Structure 1
Amino acid sequence: MGWKARLLLLISCAATICARAVPETHVVHEKRNSIHSRWTKKFRVHPRATLPMRIGLSQRNLGNAHKYLLDVSDPDSPNYGKHWTSEQVIEVFRPATESVEAVREWLTEFGISAKRVTLSENKAWLAFNVSGQEAERLLHAEFYEYEDSVTGGKIPGCDAYHVPKKLQKHIDYISPGIKLLAPFTSGRSKKKRGTNGGGPVKLPKKYHRLSYPMKMPTTGNLSNCDSIITPDCIAALYQIPPNKINHPNPANTMGIYESEAQYYTQQDLNLFFANFTPNIPNGTHPALASIDGGPGPTNRLSDAGGEVSLDIQLAFPIVYPQSITIYQEDDAVYELNPNQTYTWGFNHLLDAVDGSYCNYSAYGETGDDPNLDPIYPDPAPGGYKGQVQCGVYKPPNVISISYGGQEVHVPWAYQKRQCNEYLKLGLQGVSVLFASGDAGVGNYPAPFSADGPTGCLGPQGTIFNPTWPNNCPWITNVGATKVYPGHTVFEPESAVYDPAGHPYAVDYSSGGGFSNIYSVPDYQKQAVQTYFGEHNPPYPYYSTIVNNTDLIGSLGADGGIYNRLGRGIPDVAANGDNIALYNAGQFQLSGGTSASTPIFASVVNRLNEERLSAGKSPIGFLNPVLYKNPEVLNDITNGTNPGCGTVGFSAVKGWDPVTGLGTPNYPKMLELFLKLP
């Protein structure tokens, strides 16, 4: 090489950083195969630029986590009901000391002194600052600035990075790395209450909320249950007797999650009690667990939220005199801002009931994601000025959640990390129930959602679009049923279906289908196999479990429109149409799986009260017991959940992806759960 060539090479190396050959002792740890069109690779990171580096350490025993949960949840296990403490959960899953020391040694040998490295309190990750040159030499990578065309923000990243082979088992991920996370928008943003639009963090059940004059049904009258579902109708449907417990266990409060600044008014509750449940005295109300500035009740009827009114007024008639606690997430500044692009949810709820989750690392995610979650202290005027609340509330035995979205919209790592947390809550004896969605096998069509004219996936808009977090195997999904016109509460219900305009703005049917991210869990395999064997859907299918949400767009290339290998949704069902309630001082009807979920959750809370009175533990994760004992539920065998240009799936004998195993039968469920240890 001539001197001019050597000089040009030296100049080039000074301007950037010379690439080094990757030694044989190293291996690719993460590699990006493509980049979203919103991102542009710009300039090489300057050698002296400071990069905040974080190494997420591999958690112990995650591969055995589902076995641990089934061990305390399977009715045939000798350890059924022997739930873990939060301390046990932390100890079992924290990274091994070997991992911490091995990675520290690697850094020290490289030249990063121990004084520069901080270990998080839960030993989940190591944090330190490095120069651009150090980062490239440490990871045998080339770091560039990537610019986001949507927000204008810049973030350092690489296409691939390497770690020593002997350390790969100890490292979950390294940041900055291959992930480019900017505020994600799917064409939707959260809207003010009362507008005709919903953000992806909430299933848009507001489209099912009606407000028109109705003749008030009389208490105890079951003749109108095909048009108005009252507490008496629900009690008759599921044979729920009056609650005779005079001194309920104070630790057995029922949890209900709320978001979107849902305010309830005592005036609405009093009207409801006076007209439908005279045994519940005026002034009865839920306790408030405010999370990061979550708002409480209001005295202004015009501010009343239909979702929270629906949840409370369905739950109290079933559980009273047991108590209810509302877990209200996020301050009103975030929740009411019409331009807010905060898209996901539940991280702050999980932070608040499990302090270890605040710093828990998995799948390249640690703690709240500043690009996807609200940031606290909130700098906006009137915003919550405290720090994110970690472990400030004991988790309830049962929590009902009527919010969610589509799994394709939520980053893979974000939702997988949350799913692990639901498993850990199950280990501690918590039953987590989610609404399965209101748009059948898809999502709402435009303009009600961003998923195109059909609300479905694929270039033709024909591939079924499953919901999240319903895809997580460690929660209980609740679909919706209804009493069809001309039928009574003493006849079997049907899967809910109301075509657009009769009376809602869009088609309403019970969310159901099969996940593209999670395979069928062990407890569900027999039920799903029986469904396919005896009631094979008349649609082409594919058989793929993806490990990245970006890959969902490639599904169905062979013409299949649903995933034959996926976790089935829902698990159970309850009534979700023509629900009587008071909101903003007026009698209304409402509907949605957001009604079904608090009904089923309330039944579980009643069962927990009976078990606690008998000196037993709370039920915890429900699904293994229910799938082994489906006879304690009312099987629903009529109806479908249309979407994506099809009639969807059909409700059939046994489990189905419309109404799951069926609706509650309280006497049978009580007998079963009192027999269990």
Structure 2
Amino acid sequence: MRIGLAQSNLDYADKYLTELSHPASPNYGKHWTSEQVIDAFKPSHETIETVRDWLADSGIRGVVQSDNKAWLAFHATVKQAELLLHTEYHEYEDRHTGGVMPACEQYHVPKHIKKHIDYITPGIKLLAPGDEGPNTANTSLAKRHSPSSKAHSAAQTKKLNQVGSAEHFYGPSPKTKPMQASAAQNLSTCDVAITPACIAALYHIPPGHLAHPNNSMGIFEAELQFWDQADLNSFFTNFTTNIHNGTHPIDRLIDGGVAETNYTFEAGGEAMLDLELAYPIVHPQTIVVWNVDDLNYQLWANDTYTWGFNTLLDAVDGSYCNYTAFGETGNAPGIDPTYPDLNAPLGYNGTLQCGVYKLTNVISLSYGGQEADVPIAYQKRQCNEYLKLGLQGISFLFASGDAGVGNYPSPYGDDGATGCLGPQGDIFNPTWPNTCPYITNVGATKVYPGKTVYEPESAVYDPAGHPYSTNFSSGGGFSNVYPIPEYQKSAVATFFADHNPTYPSYSALAANAPNPVHPNVTLLSGATGGIYNRIGRGVPDVAANGDNIATYSNGAFSLSGGTSSSAPIFAAIINRINEERLAVGKSTLGFLNPTLYAHPEILNDITNGTNPGCGTLGFSAVKGWDPVTGLGTPNYPKMLKLFMSLP
């Protein structure tokens, strides 16, 4: 049995992170070690001793404390456990997996113990996936691309048939042809195809020249997204002048992950897009691909990422594997993958990897889901981990989503005919984990037809059928779970004061709740009469180009789009700035948002476009921050100058 102990200083966690990441702070850039993080939040001496004494008085012996200080463990017979917790245990079978676990309907602890305990396991049973509430069955974390009809490899087709989702990628455009490297430097066609030269011109990015051995850029991949050397070589040959064929990323394979393929037809559109956007910006720096979970779970009908990124976080922070927060400890049975995976031909037979890798200073993640489809305890526990890794100097950049203020409508999404919330299907449906306040969200912009890289971009918007099968617009809106963070309050207040949306609104946040309570259960009663929340954390924070991206994938030239494009562009720029800071003995940037919001002048403000969804035009891109393109797109020289001026 394990008892999750109440941690200390969690109320100060946000303050600690701000002290390290706000440009006006004397502690800017003084990042913590993982040991300092554990020590700062470990349970108090009073908590540990009080719970130990209670167990001893109850006849429990052999109690040990975990390395991360977060829980106590001991062996107990069923009779001992029932006497200790004044309950009755039974075995429960998961209807989906057939797994059996002991649990109880309720348990009781003495009043003076309650404040010291967060969670006890085995304890109250969890519901199986699909039973948590409305709109949750078969939910999957989608790649941040707009839905398309592009053909898939045999393995990908098998995967798609199982989960009923689309590979959000579209194929060759009749307007474009493969370009030679010399032609690819032509900036006159950037409204048709965005090449590395177009990106460099848009954001004034000079060629890279530094390569610190401890500053690889990280890119997260999953869901059968394999990179292929032949496609990379074709891209380098046709679109770059300084990257040699054979250049490739370093694979970090977590719990049986597979990152690379020897068969070009199996190359993943997402994997190739991420790498082909990042390499021209960061080269000669190296890139690390973080690929997670064995092929069995990547083909799982429940989907590897029904809920989150726990496999990655386990592998880079061993304390997270058994970290207790919001009534949840460790991975959720029936929701997260379980290792060793002995019952499948493609299963990983090792134990769950905990703390075996050091995460890169910057990581780009082009995957996500919807906030309303993730149990509150699960997502808040994970959000706390982004905070803790931010304290250690890690920058997380997430694509903000491609369905504007909602989700894709079925059959492309999992939230019904409109992709939106509420009984009428008209309440805006924010993305997740984007609403977590400790990550940086990247929305999408576009060079519209007839425009040039020397003119301001606009918020991306492609109506259904042009060329995607459904609308593509930059994901943005306001959280229903997290309040507006301190660093964002002024920007959001200015948006409402100067550009107040005409839609009816509500002001409500879903209360903390243990799994498996669905956020909608506690929220929507407070949303009566409104379709968006005025007191929630705003998304996105920044933006970058996300449409008509020139790529090579599956052996062919094609154009791609999505905030999946925007995230690796912005992340690569941050990695370049880290390189410059490390070269003069400074720290990495870590959590970016306090500095970005304090100095919006280092970004190109986007003031044109909207992000339609839920039967509306969504929000508008306006002067200053907005829930379409955030603070704007990168201006590399201005960003570099500011960040180099900081301690």
TM-score (norm 1): 0.87
Q: Which residue of 2 aligns with 1:574?
A: 544
Q: Does 1:187 align with 2:155?
A: no
Residues 92 and 458 of structure 1: is their aligned pair in 2 closer, same or farther, counting only changes over 3 Å?
same
Q: Does 1:511 align with 2:457?
A: no
Q: Does 1:310 align with 2:273?
A: yes
SS in 1 for 2:493: helix
How far apart, CA to CA, are the structure 2 residues paired with 1:637 and 1:433?
22
Residues 198 and 570 of structure 1: is their aligned pair in 2 closer, same or farther, counting only changes over 3 Å?
farther
Q: Does 1:542 align with 2:506?
A: yes
Q: Deviations over 1:112-150 (max 9, x none)?
A: 3223x3432322112345556654543345666667666
Q: Deviations over 1:430-484 (max 9, x none)?
A: 1011111111111011111221100011111011111111011000000001011
Q: Which residue of 2 aligns with 1:215?
A: 177
How far apart, CA to CA, are the structure 2 residues paired with 1:588 and 1:71?
45
SS in 2 for 1:589: strand
- Given that residues 261 and 331 in structure 1 are in contact (C-alpha distance below 8 angstroms), is that contact kept between their aligned partners in structure 2? no
How far apart, CA to CA, are the structure 2 residues paired with 1:225 and 1:304?
25
Residues 560 and 578 of structure 1: is their aligned pair in 2 closer, same or farther, counting only changes over 3 Å?
same
Bigger Cα displacement from structure 2, 376-385 vs 585-594: 376-385
Which amino acid counterpart does residue 552 of structure 1 have in structure 2?
Answer: N
Residues 587 and 196 of structure 1: is their aligned pair in 2 closer, same or farther, counting only changes over 3 Å?
farther
Q: Which residue of 1 aligns with 2:462?
A: 498
Q: Which residue of 2 aligns with 1:253?
A: 216
SS in 2 for 1:99: helix
User: Which structure 2 residues correspond to residues 101-116 of structure 1 after superposition, within 5 A?
Assistant: 101-110=49-58, 112-115=59-62
User: Which structure 2 residues correspond to residues 270-289 of structure 1 after superposition, within 5 A?
Assistant: 270-289=233-252
- Given that residues 92 and 103 in structure 2 are in contact (C-alpha distance below 8 angstroms), is that contact kept between their aligned partners in structure 1? yes
Shift of 1:563: 1.2
Q: Does 1:552 align with 2:515?
A: no
- Given that residues 205 and 438 in structure 1 are in contact (C-alpha distance below 8 angstroms), is that contact kept between their aligned partners in structure 2? no
How far apart, CA to CA, are the structure 2 residues paired with 1:561 and 1:196?
34
Q: Which residue of 1 aligns with 2:193?
A: 228
How far apart, CA to CA, are the structure 1 residues paired with 2:565 and 2:452?
19
How far apart, CA to CA, are the structure 1 residues paired with 2:234 and 2:19?
46
How far apart, CA to CA, are the structure 2 residues paired with 1:205 and 1:240?
34
- Given that residues 400 and 434 in structure 1 are in contact (C-alpha distance below 8 angstroms), is that contact kept between their aligned partners in structure 2? yes
SS in 2 for 1:580: strand
Shift of 1:317: 0.3
Q: Which residue of 1 aligns with 2:397?
A: 433
Which amino acid counterpart does residue 645 of structure 1 have in structure 2?
Answer: G
Q: Which residue of 2 aligns with 1:596?
A: 566
SS in 2 for 1:433: strand
- Given that residues 374 and 518 in structure 2 are in contact (C-alpha distance below 8 angstroms), is that contact kept between their aligned partners in structure 1? no
Bigger Cα displacement from structure 2, 546-555 vs 287-296: 546-555
Q: Does 1:173 align with 2:119?
A: yes
Which amino acid counterpart does residue 275 of structure 1 have in structure 2?
Answer: N
User: Which structure 2 residues correspond to residues 292-331 of structure 1 after superposition, within 5 A?
Assistant: 292-331=255-294
SS in 1 for 2:415: coil
When Rg is computed on C-alpha atoms for both structures, the one with the higher figure is 1
Q: Which residue of 1 aligns with 2:555?
A: 585
Bigger Cα displacement from structure 2, 392-401 vs 133-142: 133-142
- Given that residues 445 and 544 in structure 2 are in contact (C-alpha distance below 8 angstroms), is that contact kept between their aligned partners in structure 1? yes
- Given that residues 189 and 338 in structure 1 are in contact (C-alpha distance below 8 angstroms), is that contact kept between their aligned partners in structure 2? no
Q: Which residue of 1 aligns with 2:412?
A: 448
Question: What is the aligned counterpart of 2:296 among 307, 318, 333?
Answer: 333
- Given that residues 153 and 182 in structure 1 are in contact (C-alpha distance below 8 angstroms), is that contact kept between their aligned partners in structure 2? no
Q: Any gaps of 5 or more consecutive residues in structure 2?
A: 131-135, 143-154
How far apart, CA to CA, are the structure 2 residues paired with 1:199 and 1:189?
11
Shift of 1:190: 8.3
- Given that residues 636 and 653 in structure 1 are in contact (C-alpha distance below 8 angstroms), is that contact kept between their aligned partners in structure 2? yes
Residues 539 and 198 of structure 1: is their aligned pair in 2 closer, same or farther, counting only changes over 3 Å?
farther
Shift of 1:212: 4.2
- Given that residues 205 and 594 in structure 1 are in contact (C-alpha distance below 8 angstroms), is that contact kept between their aligned partners in structure 2? no
SS in 1 for 2:335: coil
SS in 1 for 2:506: coil
Q: Any gaps of 5 or more consecutive residues in structure 1?
A: 1-52
User: Which structure 2 residues correspond to residues 465-484 of structure 1 after superposition, within 5 A?
Assistant: 465-484=429-448
Shift of 1:503: 0.3
Residues 569 and 242 of structure 1: is their aligned pair in 2 closer, same or farther, counting only changes over 3 Å?
same
Q: Does 1:72 align with 2:17?
A: no
Q: Which residue of 2 aligns with 1:92?
A: 40
Q: Does 1:368 align with 2:331?
A: yes
Question: What is the aligned counterpart of 2:581 among 606, 611, 614?
Answer: 611
TM-score (norm 2): 0.91
SS in 1 for 2:119: strand
How far apart, CA to CA, are the structure 2 residues paired with 1:329 and 1:314?
21
Residues 612 and 189 of structure 1: is their aligned pair in 2 closer, same or farther, counting only changes over 3 Å?
closer
Which structure has more relative contact order (CA 8 Å, sep 6+)? It is 2
Q: Does 1:650 align with 2:598?
A: no
- Given that residues 374 and 519 in structure 2 are in contact (C-alpha distance below 8 angstroms), is that contact kept between their aligned partners in structure 1? no
Runs of 4+ in 1 over 4 A off after TM superposition: 129-137, 140-160, 188-192, 194-200, 337-342
Quote the RMSD (CA, aligned, Å): 2.3
Q: Which residue of 1 aligns with 2:380?
A: 416
Percent sequence identity over matched residues?
65
Q: Deviations over 1:290-310 (max 9, x none)?
A: 111111321211111110000
Residues 188 and 199 of structure 1: is their aligned pair in 2 closer, same or farther, counting only changes over 3 Å?
farther
Q: Deviations over 1:487-518 (max 9, x none)?
A: 11111111111111000011111111111111
Question: What is the aligned counterpart of 1:662 among 632, 641, 647?
Answer: 632
How far apart, CA to CA, are the structure 2 residues paired with 1:631 and 1:588?
35
Which amino acid counterpart does residue 641 of structure 1 have in structure 2?
Answer: N
Q: Deviations over 1:157-192 (max 9, x none)?
A: 555543323222211122344452323462356895
Shift of 1:538: 1.0
How far apart, CA to CA, are the structure 2 residues paired with 1:423 and 1:181?
28
Q: Which residue of 1 aligns with 2:351?
A: 387
Question: What is the aligned counterpart of 2:597 among 627, 634, 659?
Answer: 627
How far apart, CA to CA, are the structure 1 residues paired with 2:104 and 2:60?
24
Which amino acid counterpart does residue 399 of structure 1 have in structure 2?
Answer: I
How far apart, CA to CA, are the structure 1 residues paired with 2:459 and 2:387?
29
- Given that residues 442 and 540 in structure 2 are in contact (C-alpha distance below 8 angstroms), is that contact kept between their aligned partners in structure 1? yes
Q: Does 1:206 align with 2:206?
A: no
